[in-house]
Each structure stands twice: as structure tokens, then as C-alpha cells.
Amino acid sequence: MKRHLVLAVVLTCSLQPGLWAAQTAKPQDTAALDAILKKMDEASANFHTTQADFEWDTYQKVIDEVDDVKTGVVYYRRAGKNIEMMAEVKKVGDSAASAKPFPEYVLFAGGKIQLYEPKPDRITEVDLSKSHFDWETYLVLGFGGSGQDLKKNFDVTYQGSEDINGIKAAKLELIPKSEKVKNTYSRIVLWIDPDRGISVQQKFFSPQGDYKLAKYPNIKINEKIPEGVFKLKTTGKTEIVSPVG
């Protein structure tokens, strides 16, 4: 269970699964989708770094409310052929207004996800290199990933445009091609800035009707990020645990 919780921290995202129906794509929708995917390809080719504020909201169907809100700053950078991510979670609560300081850090690098909790001074580490699935595609979804990556891993449809923080964002619905991923997220919605080719909002739906909504205001692209950002500031007594399953 802890393994899935660590992954869920990063894979952060209403309609219930099953209440939507596939529709035949209109020619203009196909053209709009192709344009957005091409823009994402261009953004991926020129990607070096991204920094953004975030708010991650988790909705639980069983209680019919958002029961967890995390806010902070997330960083991405290209490292060779791979992309690394660090999320600094600064506040945690049941709403943005009531969130309390509760720092924790999530690092994705070298094929591993590490969740560091200063209290109780513990790292929970998941080795993704042993997985038969390319989790990096999901962990960097909309930040450095290309449009061709989306088409490879999802059935993608264009759902029009919506205003997100003053940006007329293209709304893309993604249905995972992997049955393994569908067991976790039956569908994903991305809102893509059509000018920059990056995600400004994401929503991940579980088969049970829960969802995770990730909002990314104040995005900065290809600006210098200090090297130390991508290192966990642990102590000599930090415990490292690796959950199984």
C-alpha cells in the first residue's frame, strides 16, 4: 500500500468513470489535437527545466469531498536522456485555506521515487527500474513529455478548450493503453497551454470514482534551477524503507 501512496503523491488529478461516452472525432477536433501534440513535441525538444507552484487536491467518492490538499513547488530538469523531478510539499490540509506546514519532499531520479519526511526523518523509496512499465511517462506528464509519447501510451481525444487561470487551455482526455495503469487511473485529463505546449492542470480518475486534481500556476520554463534542489536534505539518522507490493 505504501508503494502506491508514494506513486500517488507524484501522479497527481467531476465525472465518474462510466458516465462519459466515446464520440466520433470531428475533423476540426483532429486538427486541433494534431496542433497541440505538435506543440508538445516542440516543447519537449527544447525542454531543459520547469518550475511551478502547485496545488494537489484528492477527492474521495466514499465521503464525497476533497479530503487532502497539498501545496508547494515542483521542479523538473532534463538529465541526459531522462527527466528528473523534485516536489517540495510545503503545506498539507483538508483545504487550501486550512493547510498547515508539513514539509515533505518527493524526488524522482535514477529510476527511483523517494519520499522524504523530515518528521519522522524517513525516506520511502520505490525502485521503478524493476518495473516493466515506463513510469517516467506518467511522472513527467505534460512537463517535458512529447505529443508522440502521449499517442504511444494513451488513446488521446481533444475535448475543446477551457480557461485555466487566464489561459485558454486545450483539454485532452487520455485513456491508458496499459491495463496495469487502468487499474490505478482509468482516465486522465490534461489542460495544455497551446502557446508553450505544457500542462497547466491535470486530473487523474480512479476506477472507483476518486480523483486527483493538480493545478500548476506560476510556471517558469528553462530558467536556471540551483543544483541543490534535486538533492534530499537528509540527516545522518535518516531511515530508508523500501515497501513491497
pLDDT tens figures, 54-96: 998 888 888 877 777 888 999 999 888 788 899 999 876 665 5
**What pLDDT is attached to residue 78?**
87
Q: Considering the domain boundaries, does residue 13 fall inside one?
A: no
Judged by average pLDDT, the poorest of 20-34, 35-49, 194-208 is 20-34
In this predicted structure, the answer to whether residue 14 has a pLDDT above a threshold of 70 is no
* CATH number for position 63: 2.50.20.10
pLDDT in tens, 185-215: 899 999 999 999 999 999 999 999 899 999 9
Q: Considering the domain boundaries, does residue 204 fall inside one?
A: yes
pTM above 0.85, yes or no: no
Taking a C-beta distance cutoff of 8 angstroms, is the pair 192, 32 a contact? no
Percent pLDDT > 90 in the chain is 44
Q: Which stretch, 15-24, 29-38, 103-112, has highest mean pLDDT?
A: 29-38
Q: Considering the domain boundaries, does residue 120 fall inside one?
A: yes
Q: Considering the domain boundaries, does residue 182 fall inside one?
A: yes
Range of the domain at 181: 2-7+30-241
Count of domains observed in the chain = 1
Q: Considering the domain boundaries, does residue 86 fall inside one?
A: yes
Q: Considering the domain boundaries, does residue 19 fall inside one?
A: no
Q: Considering the domain boundaries, does residue 22 fall inside one?
A: no
End-to-end CA distance of the chain: 7
d(CA 58, CA 12): 8
**What pLDDT is attached to residue 25?**
47
Q: Considering the domain boundaries, does residue 145 fall inside one?
A: yes
Taking a C-beta distance cutoff of 8 angstroms, is the pair 69, 96 a contact? yes
**What pLDDT is attached to residue 24?**
46
Query: Sign of torsion, CA 187 56 39 25?
Result: positive
The continuous run of DSSP H or E covering 123 comes out as strand 122-127
